[in-house]
């Protein structure tokens, strides 16, 4: 092989490597809020997740209101502030932020936050963390142990919605159609073991039913207890 051919191959390899490096963000994390960080001077919106806004409040099952948005930001900051991240840019959002999947110590930040109940799977844009969220919900981890308004709804409305509005029941339609961590459609009637702890998120396909017959007809099965 001629020297010119070797040189061209070497130059091509360098060019490919430079493009690959340009497509990766590596640097120290500065946490902005539950789903937004700065890496290497770039504002990054974490791919596939949505966390409560810093100003957002939640309500415990005992009816106590508290600032869960600020709590999530503190928890994320405690875990990741100052650590080194390697982020793969995937898109750019309407605010000009880089949407990226970020790894710290070989672990996906988005998956970890959803698994610990500090953020929700953002199914509008990705299904990457769908099953991870269902497992967190089934275990009542983090935000799943309380009444939380969907962050997107909060941003859209600009204010919190009362728990009674979030978990609204129309008349006698008080049967909860829940989707389990395994994707099973299960309905719970008042008085059953897991009725009170079951949360209904209509944005994820869950719903209320007025009768067991209606639930069965829609494809849900009755909870065993």
Model confidence band, residue 106 (pLDDT cutoffs 50, 70, 90): very high
- Percent of the chain residues topping a pLDDT of 70: 82
Question: 123-128 — which CB contacts under 8 Å span 24+ positions?
Answer: 123/203, 123/204, 124/152, 125/47, 125/48, 126/47, 126/48, 127/48, 128/47, 128/48
Q: Which residue has the tokens 């099965």?
A: 221
Model confidence band, residue 51 (pLDDT cutoffs 50, 70, 90): very high
pLDDT in tens, 124-161: 899 999 999 999 999 989 999 888 888 988 888 765 44
The better pLDDT of the pair 191, 71 is held by 71
Q: If you average pLDDT over residues 198-220, what whole number do you get? A: 79
Q: Is the pLDDT of residue 117 over 90?
A: yes
Q: What is the pLDDT of residue 132?
A: 95
C-beta separation of 118 from 143 below 8 A: yes
In this prediction the pTM is 0.63
Q: What is the pLDDT of residue 38?
A: 97
Contacts of 68 (CB under 8 A, 6+ apart): 52, 56, 57, 58, 143, 146, 148
Q: What is the pLDDT of residue 162?
A: 42
How is domain 3-157 classified at the CATH fold level? OB fold (Dihydrolipoamide Acetyltransferase, E2P) (2.40.50)
Distance, in Å, from the CA atom of 76 to the CA atom of 105, rounded to the nearest integer, reads 15
Q: What is the pLDDT of residue 195?
A: 81
Q: What is the pLDDT of residue 46?
A: 98
Model confidence band, residue 35 (pLDDT cutoffs 50, 70, 90): very high
Q: If you average pLDDT over residues 1-13, what whole number do you get? A: 53
Q: What is the pLDDT of residue 112?
A: 98
Which alpha helices (H) appear in 45-173, and where do they start and end? 68-80, 109-115, 130-138, 151-157, 163-166
Domain ranges of the chain: 3-157, 167-222
Q: Is the pLDDT of residue 169 over 50?
A: no
């Amino acid at each position: 092989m001629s020297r010119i051919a070797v040189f061209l191959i070497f130059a091509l390899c360098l060019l490919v490597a430079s493009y690959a490096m340009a497509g990766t963000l590596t640097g120290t994390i500065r946490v902005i809020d539950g789903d937004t960080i700065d890496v290497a001077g770039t504002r990054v919106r974490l791919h596939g997740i949505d966390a409560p806004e810093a100003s957002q409040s939640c309500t415990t099952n005992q009816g106590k209101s508290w600032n869960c948005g600020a709590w999530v930001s503190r928890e994320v900051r405690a875990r990741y502030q100052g650590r080194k991240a390697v982020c793969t840019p995937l898109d750019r959002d309407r605010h000009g932020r880089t949407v990226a999947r970020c790894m710290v110590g070989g672990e996906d930040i988005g998956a970890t936050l959803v698994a610990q109940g500090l953020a929700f799977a953002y199914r509008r844009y990705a299904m990457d963390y769908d099953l991870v969220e269902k497992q967190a919900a089934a275990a009542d981890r983090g935000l799943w142990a309380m009444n939380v308004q969907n962050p997107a709804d909060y941003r859209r409305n600009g204010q919190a919605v009362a728990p009674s509005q979030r978990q609204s029941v129309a008349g006698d339609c008080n049967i909860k159609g829940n989707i389990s961590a395994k994707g099973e459609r299960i309905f719970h009637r008042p008085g059953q073991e897991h009725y009170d702890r079951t949360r209904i998120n209509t944005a994820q396909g869950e719903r209320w039913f007025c009768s067991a017959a209606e639930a069965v007809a829609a494809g849900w099965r009755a909870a065993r207890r």
